[in-house]
Structure 1
């Protein structure tokens, strides 16, 4: 391949800037290690693919923010000048990457360094791995044609109200078929952004891809990821990890107040999250995001929690983002109509729906400040940690808290 897959440092998810600013102001000395994992058991990366991934990451590390890009970020109401000035100086470091072939799938990647640096590598790395794989494993032109056909059908499905989603956005950068494919999808659905067709019951809010949001004049979307709760709660060795959510929510409010507030619930289980998501935080945050377990059960649990605090759920947003397609999202929207505001972040189904299966790849924080950190999630299989003993310790800490508070 003779082109760059990542062409701009804006080509990442918005929540990397949301978290990045808070890291810059509150945790600039924290260090993290991130580990790549391919969950597909039948996928293998060839040595040629690994070499191309290395080349693309070197090209990515040559990029710098332009003044035009920095001005775009500055105009996002919660981004501060101090962070923009830091980004003017910031650059990715290829020296932070260790890339090899010593994994079951044929590809191993780890990044280590300051949290400020390594957090920014996750999304571009996954986008590069994904695009290299599909271009080198298959007939890419054939895949792109199947992608376009399915995209056209998806658009007609929502435009004609076959599926009524309400508010939705595109979250597919990390697992997209290609830069070209994601751009086609975002451009297509941006026709629903202004919702000029008043009969259409689906409204496209925007995309997590900041570069494409800027290009098409739509809203960049995203607040926090699991790394925020893992590192703020578990990276300080003095913290009880069962209170990870409290530390994460407290730091977020210090940074943003009532701005930029959708809280992620499932890092160390939603039941434990609710112990800390009491009246002050539930009032200040605009809503909560679902990323694992049954969405209907989760949504009902959140509604009951809001009601128990005297908060009208219709004034809060339930954002669903776990492995959604339009049919599933429409079903969730119908269930919660009149109960709460709902919105959807839809990723792979929009950005990588072709005639072949998509990859299930992740890159997660595995160490913070030299200490193990873990995501448990609300279901088995979505967690990730290198040390089973630490997972056992974390689970026991949570159980003690749940049993004794």
Structure 2
């Protein structure tokens, strides 16, 4: 685990430290979703866009468009390696072997490519848009977010002396260790790394993952980063995301089809995957309405991931919903993943312990918590809320309502129409971490 971060930060070069090192350097759910899209929606055309929800930060002031395009072109030049494809084909994921079909892996090797993109800047704002076939656009999400976040990091580090870099990373290591030490004291706690998209850097994410593995043992479930799982023989964690129901909803031709889109995607998903990959993400158009209208077979899924709702409220709601349908919540899995840090992880573990199998997906504040570590007291290394969202599907607007209105995306009139169709309540506007 010996990494001289100060020296590496001082001497970044393409051969030693490209930001994205492999096409596997993405969240595992993106590969699962890519196979799903390739199989079911191969000809659908989409656009997506990077959205900076931290409006106080002007990205164009911190990220060079020229250097960003160079990094993006580097990513487009990458290909899946033979050993990586063999690992995808032969490894056991979630207790199941051969999750990825041979013809899909053949397409990854010979037919996969990333779509076109457009990078522009205006008045300090950086605009990054992607357009093309859905199967060519979808993988840009994590690559692009990783690029922008690490380019912010590199820009800030370039202003520091080597001594200041040493101080910065010493403080960050101590902070990380203090968090891990607190987790070590609690029996039965379960934590996974979900921090790829908003990481400080690849090297820091790898350092954090290795530290968790060494220190937490069985309490560390694995990582969402497929490349790190491949490289370090870890469990690859992840299932699906809001992108799927958003796209199917946009493709709906009637209000009835629109309401059913959130369940149709589950039906198609379980035709492709089973077992532990059957994790609900019900908040795309509102959790309460989703559970109220869900078909009976949805209660047989493995569990639920909470994203935008208060985890206590969402967990209690899911447990009550399961009990009302005669399912034992203690056999189900509940995953929290939104803006967690160690205090919240421990609080939620205590609250749900013995009631349901609980696990935390620890993201930004695991792999990018440099708050109060800067040797000059600056906040330039503080993480920001950067997302990549689907904008159109076959020319129609894509919409996400969320349980937190601050996370809603789409044209205002379409958001209003979706709220009317789904009957989603307008919840409190919780600050996005």
Normalising to structure 1: TM-score of the pair? Answer: 0.91
Residue 277 to residue 164, structure 1, CA distance change in 2 (3 Å): farther
Q: Does structure 2 conserve the Cα–Cα contact (< 8 Å) formed by 1:193 and 1:218? A: no
Shift of 1:359: 1.4
Question: Given the alignment, which residue of 57, 61, 73 partners 1:46?
Answer: 61
**In angstroms, what is the RMSD of aligned CA positions?**
2.0
Alpha-carbon distance in 2 for matches of 1:382, 1:363: 12
Structural mapping, 1:83-232, within 5 Å? 83-93=104-114, 96-102=116-122, 105-138=124-157, 139=159, 141=165, 143-159=168-184, 161=185, 166-192=189-215, 194-195=217-218, 203-232=219-248
Shift of 1:236: 3.8
Query: Is the counterpart of residue 389 in structure 1 residue 418 in structure 2?
Result: no
Query: Is the counterpart of residue 247 in structure 1 residue 261 in structure 2?
Result: no
Q: What secondary structure is seen at the aligned counterpart in 2 of 1:6?
A: coil
Shift of 1:217: 0.9
Residue in structure 2 matched with residue 33 of structure 1 by the alignment: 47
Give the count of matched residue pairs.
388
Residue in structure 1 matched with residue 75 of structure 2 by the alignment: 60
Q: Does structure 2 conserve the Cα–Cα contact (< 8 Å) formed by 1:268 and 1:376? A: yes
Normalising to structure 2: TM-score of the pair? Answer: 0.85
Question: Given the alignment, which residue of 280, 299, 305 partners 1:282?
Answer: 299
Shift of 1:192: 4.6
Alpha-carbon distance in 1 for matches of 2:193, 2:278: 18
Stretches of structure 2 that go unaligned for 5 or more consecutive residues are 1-11, 374-378, 426-433
Alpha-carbon distance in 2 for matches of 1:305, 1:172: 30
Question: Given the alignment, which residue of 9, 17, 24 partners 2:31?
Answer: 17
Query: Is the counterpart of residue 2 in structure 1 residue 2 in structure 2?
Result: no
Shift of 1:143: 4.1
Q: Does structure 1 conserve the Cα–Cα contact (< 8 Å) formed by 2:19 and 2:147? A: yes
Alpha-carbon deviations, 1:279-317, whole Å to 9, x = none? 21221x210100012110110000000001100000100
Alpha-carbon distance in 2 for matches of 1:254, 1:10: 24
Alpha-carbon distance in 2 for matches of 1:85, 1:125: 25
Alpha-carbon deviations, 1:366-388, whole Å to 9, x = none? 11111001111101201111x21
Stretches of structure 1 that go unaligned for 5 or more consecutive residues are 196-202
